[in-house]
Every structure is written in C-alpha cells, then in structure tokens.
Amino acid sequence: MKIPKGGATEGRERLRHFVEGRARDYAATRNDLDGTVSGLSPWIRYGALMASEVRDAVVARMGKESAAKFVSELGWRDYWHRVYVEVGERIWEDLRPSATGNPASLYSEELPPDVMAGRTGLRCMDSFVAELVASGTMHNHARMWFASWVVHWLRIKWQAGAKFFLAHLLDADIASNNLSWQWVAGTFSSKPYIFNRQNLDRFSKGRFCSGCHFRENCPFEGTYEELEARLFPRLVRRLEHP
Ligand SMILES: Cc1cc2nc3c(=O)[nH]c(=O)nc-3n(C[C@H](O)[C@H](O)[C@H](O)COP(=O)(O)OP(=O)(O)OC[C@H]3O[C@@H](n4cnc5c(N)ncnc54)[C@H](O)[C@@H]3O)c2cc1C
C-alpha cells in the first residue's frame, strides 16, 4: 500500500488545496463516488489537523451557510467520539436491540474469505474492497453500501466488518468506524440502513452495474419496500400487524 505523507505540513497543504479548490461543490456532490470530498480524514484522525482548524478554514473561505454541510459532517465525528467516551469498551457491543427485528442467531461471526479478497463476483463490492486494500481508502457512500451488504444481505455481525475496516483504513478510528457500522446495522439508529441497485448505480454513474456478472440477478435489485420485506420479514410483519 502506498501511504501518503503524514504530518501537519502535509495536512495543511491538503486543507489549503481543498478550500481554494472545489470545496464549494462539497454539499452537492459528496455522495457521488467521483464527487468532491476533502480526503482529510487520515490527518484529522492522527491529530495532524485539528477538526476545529479544518472547520475554521472552510467557514472562513465559504461562509457559514455554504460550509454548513461540511461542518455537520465534522459534527458527526465529534458526536461519535463523545458517544465513545460514554460507552467505552461497550462500543464493541450492540448499543441497542437491533432495529431489524431479526434475531442475533441469524448472523455469522466472520467475514467469508471471498468478501475479504474482493472475489465475490459483485463488481461494486469487489471494487470497494480492492480500493480499500490497495490504498486504505473507501468513499463514505461505498462504506455505507458495503456495510449494509455485509450486515443485511450476508447476515454477518457488524463487528466482523468493523474489524476488517479497522485493519485497512488509513483513517481507522474506532469511534467513527464502530458507531457508523452500528448505525447501518440498526443497533444505534431507529432504522437499519439499506440501499438498492438504482441508488448505487446513480451515485456511481453506472460504473459497476453494466459489466457485472450478477447484472441479471443482482441482490440489490428491487424497491425499498421489496428489499425490506426480504431482509427484515419480522419487522415488516410487525409494522403491518402491530
Ligand atoms: C461503515 C463506516 C465506517 C467508517 N469508518 C470511519 C473511520 O474509521 N474513520 C473515520 O474518520 N471515518 C469513518 N467513517 C466516516 C466517513 O466515511 C469518513 O470520515 C470519510 O469518508 C472520510 O473522507 P473525507 O476525509 O474525504 O471526508 P469529508 O466528507 O471530506 O468530511 C470531512 C471530515 O469530516 C469527518 N466526517 C465526514 N463524514 C463523517 C461521518 N459520516 N462520520 C464521522 N466523521 C465524518 C471526517 O473527519 C472527514 O475527514 C465511516 C463511515 C462508515 C459508513
């Protein structure tokens, strides 16, 4: 893996490049895989950049209103860290009963070898893993899709996925990582996070689906209602017949 230069000088140079460059596109394009994001998380993670310094530089350049989305994302980081201070080692346990309605016994403990090797045949997920392993990075939206696939489609405990991320991410941070996995899993949110093929195709600009081996048999195909009924049958039954 090629590790970028660390340290405050490098971090500040990258921050300057972001604020003087395309920071204004952030709110509108941050969910697109090829959209504008800062890429600053490893420097923030290791304290080479203080989150407050990053916030102040972006607000000074763009003004409070235009910088609001970016500042709110930094706010998530701050929030996850405050929760970590509260829960300590319990960050490895489900913080709430799962919002999926599924019993814990349905979920496996380990990530299968083909998932970790990026050899499942699903072009999107395999590409995310290849990028993660080669560069230590993964776009936020890809992290959400991958985590959702692992927990809700493959029915693997979120802890297995969280450990896999912590082993590879350059910005690996137990608070942001574990609590984001719990948010996706529905053990620290009121609703499990899922997506469908159209959503992934839209934000990846069709980059994966066209040549995918599973194009005609995609596990993510369907409306959100159909996918929820398939993935969380007990929850859907409970909502229909309270
Ligand atoms: C399953 C999963 C695991 C994650 N694991 C980590 C992790 O180990 N370390 C980590 O720093 N972030 C983690 N995140 C949050 C987020 O994906 C990264 O912070 C972001 O992708 C970093 O890229 P960036 O610096 O270009 O972010 P930008 O979008 O440019 O955001 C600026 C900064 O705000 C903070 N930030 C942005 N989004 C989030 C978020 N959703 N939660 C918390 N902080 C955020 C980061 O410090 C980031 O550098 C995870 C998200 C998910 C869904």
Given a cut of 90, is residue 67 above it in pLDDT?
yes
pLDDT band at 242 (very low <50, low <70, confident <90, very high): low
Reading phi first (left if > 0) and then psi (alpha if -120 to 50, else beta), residue 173 is in beta
Mean pLDDT to the nearest integer, 198-217: 94
Domain 95-240 has CATH 3.30.360.10: no
Predicted pLDDT at 210: 87
Predicted pLDDT at 86: 98
Q: 113-165: per-residue pLDDT in tens?
A: 999 999 999 999 999 999 999 999 999 999 999 999 999 999 999 999 999 99
Average pLDDT, the chain: 96
Does residue 178 line the site of ligand 1, with CB under 6 A?
A: no
Does residue 79 line the site of ligand 1, with CB under 6 A?
A: no
Mean pLDDT to the nearest integer, 40-55: 98
What CA–CA distances, in Å, run from 193 to 40, 173, 177, 181? 25, 21, 15, 10
Mean pLDDT to the nearest integer, 24-32: 97
Q: Which residues of 130-169 are buried (b: 16+ CB within 10 A; e: fewer)?
A: ebbbeebbbbebbbbbbbbbbbbbbebbbbbbbbbbeebb
Euclidean distance between the first and final Cα of the chain, in Å?
51
pLDDT band at 171 (very low <50, low <70, confident <90, very high): very high
Given a cut of 70, is residue 239 above it in pLDDT?
no
Residue ranges per structural domain of the chain: 8-90, 95-240
- The pTM of the full predicted model, rounded to 2 decimals, is 0.97
Q: 77-102: per-residue pLDDT in tens?
A: 999 999 999 999 999 999 999 999 99
Instruction: Of 124, 113, 175, 121, give the one whose Cα is nearest residue 148.
Output: 124
Reading phi first (left if > 0) and then psi (alpha if -120 to 50, else beta), residue 205 is in left
Q: 101-117: per-residue pLDDT in tens?
A: 999 999 999 999 999 99
Does residue 138 line the site of ligand 1, with CB under 6 A?
A: no
Given a cut of 80, is residue 37 above it in pLDDT?
yes
Using the mean position of ligand 1's atoms as its centre, give its distance from the Cα of residue 41 in Å.
6
Using the mean position of ligand 1's atoms as its centre, give its distance from the Cα of residue 40 in Å.
9
Question: Of 1.25.40.80, 3.20.20.70, 2.30.38.10, 3.30.390.50, which CATH number belongs to 8-90?
Answer: 1.25.40.80
Does residue 80 line the site of ligand 1, with CB under 6 A?
A: yes
161 touches 111 (CB < 8 A): yes
Given a cut of 80, is residue 240 above it in pLDDT?
no
Does residue 136 line the site of ligand 1, with CB under 6 A?
A: no
3-state DSSP assignment of residue 95:
coil
Predicted pLDDT at 211: 86
CA–CA separation, 114 and 118 (whole Å): 6
Given a cut of 70, is residue 54 above it in pLDDT?
yes
Using the mean position of ligand 1's atoms as its centre, give its distance from the Cα of residue 176 in Å.
7
